[in-house]
Amino acid sequence: MSKELGFLSRFFSALWGGPDEIDMTQRAQELLASYQRELSNGNGDAEAQLARVLDQLRSFWGMESLAWRADADSSGIEVSFSGKELGTISWEPPEFAIQDSQRSLLEILAGLAAPHLAQAAESKADPLQRWQSERADMVTGLLNRPSFMGLLLDELSKPSGTAGLTSVLLTVHIQDYTKLYNALGGTGYDERVRDFSRLLRADFGLHSTAGRLEEDLFAVLISDLTNPDKAAEMSSAFRKKVEEVLELSITAGIAPRVEMYSDPQVWLNDARTAVKQAEERGGQQAFFSQTMQMHSVARWRMETDLEEALEAGQIQTWFQPIVHLPGGEIAGYEALCRWSHPERGNIRPDEFIPVAENDGQLILEIGQLTLKEACETLLRVSQRNGTTPFMSVNLSPVQLKDRKLPQKIQSVVEGAGIEASRLKLEITETAVMHEREEALQALERIRETGAQLSMDDFGTGYSSLAYLREFPITTLKIDRAFVSGADQSAEAQEILRTIVEMAHGLDLKIVAEGIETEGERNLLAQLGCEYGQGWLFAKPMPAGEI
């Protein structure tokens, strides 16, 4: 306790400086000390005590019109509790911006409050409530992912085809989730999802159970069907009702139970494969077919191997130097993900990254691991060489949709002890062009962390001068397809000259990828390209070798 308050004293003393500010510091310390003392003595309800302190701080700052509420949407300034998931407290300034010092105080207060609130919440919940909270999704009341997977396992333990009846797994994907979330806000989206869940629970009959697997992915197990085609009819009717009543666009994947299923994850993967197949074909629903089966099983096996590889430390970060073309000295590095399989050897990223992205959670874990190792390596190399190189790290489209990505970036950068501006996060054209509006908002949030943004593989997708002006990027990476053999082709040289002039006109730095010959290097340097990387300089190497 005294250590915490001592830290707060130093924190506020550093935060505020003049005579009036000292009074503010002392008063804030008194409030926090009182709050901690009462909680430690077991006086009163933890949540009520927190509300009281927040109200006092609001009055103390002269913000009587400032409102707070629990479990608020993300339109205000959220303070998320650490530890157990207990919701958030959102401060909503009416016509003024909340000061950074006040935001920091709220974050510290929330961190101190979390253990007490967790203890209070646990003691107040009766066994039935605790059992339900462990099994159900908090927003919709549907089964959560672990509980739904347990349901599938129970279903597969029963004899199949009893009395000519079968079961079908239906997965339902809400399309344009990010756009919908941004349009409605957190609370509005949750309300729409609750309405959607009520229909999902009611429309598939008594022999059905629904679950929420992800923010925008739901599943329904339908039992005792005489014909799997009945599930398609029910799904089609449900989709039409959702479109009419809730104005939501959804896609469905249908996977009837077959003898080969013994693992619920395989069954679910097949249903998800059918969803993706429907979306790729521009349709509304699809059955999982035998033609998809080989790909699905192979992907599931690789997903399983990837999960084990993460736990075993087989996923590593390698680094390729990026040189300053005019002088040849190392200016930075690109972090590259590598998988060394104990039996299959080195597996190429273009084989396992799409599988990880299909899973969603796997790519988030791999991305976080790569970012952490990249920042730690950057610090080590900087301290050893007395230099300040930059570090480029690729971002997956899935990571861009992660609302917690900016906080994750900030946490890793601060933990490693490097300047955020030395981090260059690389995005591909395809990642930002399909949902440009949502991508632009995500990139702006990333830029607020202080990290730089780089457009990777320029020229292979949809880029144009107009698009580049929209995005807050500082660097353009020219794809190796434009570099390879360019010194031997007048047409290729003209294309490169155009790209370089365009980029410099937008005040962008340029990195050319895939440089393998001195001729290519000399050409790019003459054109004014600042940086280059490729086998001419160095191949990717483990962290210990740079």
Q: Which of 123-127, 158-162, 422-426 has the lowest mean pLDDT?
A: 123-127
pLDDT of residue 351: 84
pLDDT in tens, 169-189: 999 999 887 778 778 887 888
Mean pLDDT of 115-135: 53
Mean pLDDT value of segment 184-209: 86
User: How many angstroms separate the Cα of 73 from the Cα of each of 86, 90, 186, 190?
Assistant: 14, 8, 5, 9
Higher-pLDDT residue of 101, 426: 426
d(CA 150, CA 255): 17
Check whether 151 has a pLDDT greater than 60: yes
Q: What is the mean pLDDT of residues 272-301?
A: 72
* pTM, two decimal places: 0.52
Domain 302-545, CATH class in plain words = alpha beta
| Residue 36, both tokens | 């901690």
With 70 as the cut, is the pLDDT of residue 12 above it?
A: no
* 8 A C-beta contact, residue 528 and residue 504: yes
- pLDDT digits over 430-480, tens only? 777 666 777 888 899 999 999 999 998 776 554 455 567 788 999 999 988
Q: Are 179 and 171 in contact (CB under 8 A)?
A: no
**pLDDT tier, 367 (very low <50, low <70, confident <90, very high otherwise):** very high
For residue 212, is pLDDT > 80?
Answer: yes
- Return the CATH architecture of domain 138-288: 2-Layer Sandwich (3.30)
Q: What does pLDDT average to over the chain?
A: 77
Q: Which residues contact 427 (CB under 8 A, 6 or more apart)?
A: 395, 400, 439, 443, 453, 454, 455, 456, 473
508/476 Cα distance (integer angstroms): 6
Percent of the chain past pLDDT 70, that is, above it, reads 70
Of 439, 453, 449, nearest to 182 by C-alpha is 439
Backbone angles phi, psi at 477, to 5 degrees: -105, 120
What is the reported pLDDT for 76? 41
State the pLDDT at residue 1: 37
Q: Which helix (H) or strand (E) holds 495?
A: helix 490-505
Mean pLDDT, rounded, for 87-99: 44
